[in-house]
């Protein structure tokens, strides 16, 4: 092949080149394969697709007809309805609302990262459909307010609705609900491994007490405290839905917030705490983990929190978590705490060992007393 032909072929090839992400404002992503392969079902819709990535998935075809019915109802009836009429929609003729299992699955599907439409698209359609009502003195709710209400079960902190411009889509809204109200920007740009040298059961041996954060607090799952050897962690439910929302928020942070992975930090921390089934049992007994699994539930909890953070990339380090990890390790290696941990591990692990150790101590004390008395008599 001549040089000119090669040059022409290369030019043609380059013209067809496409960016992996079209613009910096991209907010809908395919979950990276290295993460997705760990649990593909956690990222795949089971009932309905609303975004482009799973459109016409053969498993979701049955919902397409229902979507058209909803669209027809929205265009023909709802856009012409008054506010009072909109409030009187009934569930009897609603195929989703009339079947609780389907409503639950649809709710889960709408939170998946791969199953999204940008929020501004919903907002524009909504504003076009109800312009007179939206202009009627603010009586009619905005779309972001409706979305926040629809997913209010995830808003444990009772946060006010965010500005529509600050939320990319429903998965991003879910992440917003789990961030602390006054989260600060991360100022350690050089990634440093967050490694906790002691698991939950080892921390207990060293004298650390686990306690669920007071439920009267603002309810943020990231609200961790270490005070006078007591580790306070907010309550979190552990079931299949927990794994789904944690996996999708972590995937969103990996793709869209690579330098602000607050939820990933939390998952990594719990993963370090629960390295074994025994460790998971410590947090369950303390009321920190509300386990809804059956069977070998301790193993399932440990696998859940240990698996969500796998194959992720940490590009920044949270100064708060780094101090937290260091303080826990320092507490455990303190000479007195280390000695107590050794005593608990070697001599007080069971009632029989405790009784034998106590008897040995008493015998030693009596021997010392007898020896002192004998010396005095001499």
Q: What is the full DSSP assignment across 1-39?
A: --HHHHHHHHHHHHHT---SSSSTT----PPPHHHHTT-
Predicted confidence band of residue 254 (pLDDT cuts 50, 70, 90): very high
pLDDT tens, position by position, 107-139: 999 999 999 999 999 998 888 877 766 665 666
pLDDT tens, position by position, 26-38: 788 999 999 999 9
Predicted confidence band of residue 363 (pLDDT cuts 50, 70, 90): confident
| Under 8 Å between Cβ of 179 and 159 | no
> Of 237, 239, 236, 230, which Cα lies nearest the Cα of 327?
230
Residue 255 neighbours by CB under 8 Å, 6+ apart = 29, 31, 32, 113
Which range is least confidently modeled, 40-44, 46-50, 95-99, 162-166? 95-99
Q: 282 φ, ψ to 5°?
A: -60, -45
Mean pLDDT over residues 135-146, rounded? Answer: 77
Residue 278 neighbours by CB under 8 Å, 6+ apart = 201, 298
Q: 212 φ, ψ to 5°?
A: -75, 140
Query: How far apart are the C-alpha atoms of 258 and 24, rounded to whole Å?
Result: 13
Scan for tokens 């979950």, then name that residue.
Answer: 31
State the Cα angle at 244 between 153 and 59, rounded to 5°: 110
94: how many CB neighbours lie within 10 A of its CB? Answer: 15
Residue 123, classed as helix, strand or coil, is helix
| Under 8 Å between Cβ of 178 and 159 | no
Query: How far apart are the C-alpha atoms of 191 and 5, rounded to whole Å?
Result: 47
The terminus-to-terminus CA distance of the chain in angstroms comes to 112
pTM of the model: 0.81
pLDDT tens, position by position, 188-206: 556 677 788 889 998 988 8
Query: How far apart are the C-alpha atoms of 256 and 25, rounded to whole Å?
Result: 9
CA pseudo-torsion sign 214, 218, 219, 221: negative
Per-residue model confidence (pLDDT) at position 232: 93
For residue 262, give the H/E element and its range. helix 262-273
Per-residue model confidence (pLDDT) at position 22: 47
Q: 199 φ, ψ to 5°?
A: -85, 180
Predicted confidence band of residue 88 (pLDDT cuts 50, 70, 90): low
Please provide the average confidence, as pLDDT, over all residues in the chain.
81
Per-residue model confidence (pLDDT) at position 11: 78
Query: How far apart are the C-alpha atoms of 97 and 122, rounded to whole Å?
Result: 21
Bridge partners, 238 (sequence order): 291
Task: Give the CA count within 13 Å in the CB-facing half-sphere of 58.
Answer: 0
């Amino acid at each position: 092949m001549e040089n000119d032909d090669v040059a022409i072929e290369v030019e043609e090839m380059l013209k067809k080149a496409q960016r992996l992400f079209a613009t910096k404002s991209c907010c809908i992503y395919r979950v990276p394969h290295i993460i997705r392969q760990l649990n593909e079902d956690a990222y795949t819709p089971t009932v309905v697709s609303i975004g482009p990535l799973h459109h016409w998935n053969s498993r979701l075809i049955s919902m397409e007809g229902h979507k058209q019915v909803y669209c027809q109802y929205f265009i023909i009836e709802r856009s012409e309805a008054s506010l009072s009429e909109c409030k009187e929609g009934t569930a009897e003729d609603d195929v989703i609302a009339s079947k609780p299992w389907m409503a639950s699955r649809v709710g889960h599907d709408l939170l998946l990262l791969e199953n999204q439409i940008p929020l501004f698209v919903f907002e524009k359609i909504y504003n076009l459909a109800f312009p007179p009502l939206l202009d009627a003195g603010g009586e009619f709710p905005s779309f972001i307010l409706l979305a926040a209400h629809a997913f209010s079960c995830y808003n444990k902190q009772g946060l006010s609705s965010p500005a529509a411009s600050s939320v990319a889509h429903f998965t991003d809204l879910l992440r917003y609900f789990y961030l602390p109200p006054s989260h600060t920007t991360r100022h350690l740009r050089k990634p440093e491994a967050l490694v906790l040298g002691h698991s939950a059961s080892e921390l207990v041996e060293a004298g650390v007490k686990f306690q669920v954060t007071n439920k009267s607090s603002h309810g943020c799952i990231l609200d961790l405290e270490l005070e006078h050897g007591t580790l306070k962690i907010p309550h979190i439910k552990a079931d299949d839905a927990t794994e789904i929302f944690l996996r999708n928020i972590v995937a969103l942070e990996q793709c869209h917030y690579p330098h602000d992975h607050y939820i990933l930090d939390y998952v990594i921390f719990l993963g370090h705490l629960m390295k074994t089934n025994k460790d998971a049992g410590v947090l369950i007994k303390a009321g920190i983990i509300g386990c809804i699994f059956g069977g070998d539930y301790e193993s399932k909890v440990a696998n859940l929190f240990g698996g969500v953070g796998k194959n992720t990339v940490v590009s920044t380090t949270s100064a708060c978590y780094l101090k937290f990890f260091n303080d826990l390790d320092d507490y455990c290696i303190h000479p007195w705490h280390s000695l107590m941990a050794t005593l608990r591990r070697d001599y007080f692990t069971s009632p029989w060992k405790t009784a034998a150790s106590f008897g040995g101590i008493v015998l030693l004390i009596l021997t010392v007393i007898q020896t002192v008395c004998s010396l005095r008599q001499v």
